[in-house]
Amino acid sequence: MSETPLDRLNIELSDLNLKRKKLRNFIYFQNDGKDFQALPLGTRAFLVAQLDTMEAYFNLAALRQSCMEGNEECRPSGLSFEQILPMLREGFSIRRSRWNGKSLMVFKQVPAHITSEKIPNMQSLPEEAKRHILAAGDHIDYVAQ
Interval 35-79: pLDDT, tens? 999 999 999 999 999 999 999 899 889 988 999 998 888 877 777
Domain span holding position 11: 5-75
- Let me know if residue 119 belongs to a domain: yes
Residues 9 and 71 in one domain: yes
For residue 8, what is the enclosing H or E element?
helix 5-28
In terms of phi and psi (left: phi > 0; alpha: psi -120 to 50; beta: otherwise), the region of 71 is left
Distance CA 128, CA 122 (A): 12
In terms of phi and psi (left: phi > 0; alpha: psi -120 to 50; beta: otherwise), the region of 9 is alpha
According to the model, what pLDDT value does residue 93 have?
86
Helix axes 81-89, 41-69, angle to 10 degrees: 70
Q: Are 93 and 58 in contact (CB under 8 A)?
A: no
pTM: 0.65
Number of folded domains in the chain? 2
- Let me know if residue 92 belongs to a domain: no
In order of 19, 24, 26, the CA distances from 14 in angstroms are: 9, 15, 19
In this prediction, residue 104 has a pLDDT band, given cuts at 50, 70 and 90, of confident
Final residue of a structural domain among 47, 75, 103: 75
